[in-house]
């Protein structure tokens, strides 16, 4: 867990929750994170902190989408 992020958020899970549901004019933060990790990989670079957060975000998004599909209308 990055020290700089640690000063803003209490845990990697909190960071992931914010990224999973936040969006801006350019799209969702989750998509931006995914693209960033992919582009770093294409350059032969690996950031373990970003990859761990990406996995958490993917799980949260998948769980949220599953909940939306099963929620009564």
**Tens of pLDDT, residue by residue, the chain (73 residues):** 454 555 566 788 888 999 999 999 999 999 999 999 999 999 999 999 999 999 999 999 999 875 665 666 5
At 11 the pLDDT is: 83
Q: Mark 16-49 as b/e (b = at least 16 C-beta within 10 Å).
A: beebbeeeeeeebbbeebbeebeeeeeeeeeeee
């Amino acid at each position: 867990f990055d020290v700089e992020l640690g000063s803003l958020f209490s845990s990697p899970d909190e960071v992931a929750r914010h990224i999973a549901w936040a969006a801006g004019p350019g799209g969702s933060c989750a998509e931006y994170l995914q693209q960033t990790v992919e582009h770093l990989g294409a350059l032969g670079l690996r950031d373990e902190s970003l990859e761990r957060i990406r996995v958490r975000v993917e799980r949260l998004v998948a769980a949220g989408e599953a909940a939306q599909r099963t929620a009564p209308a």
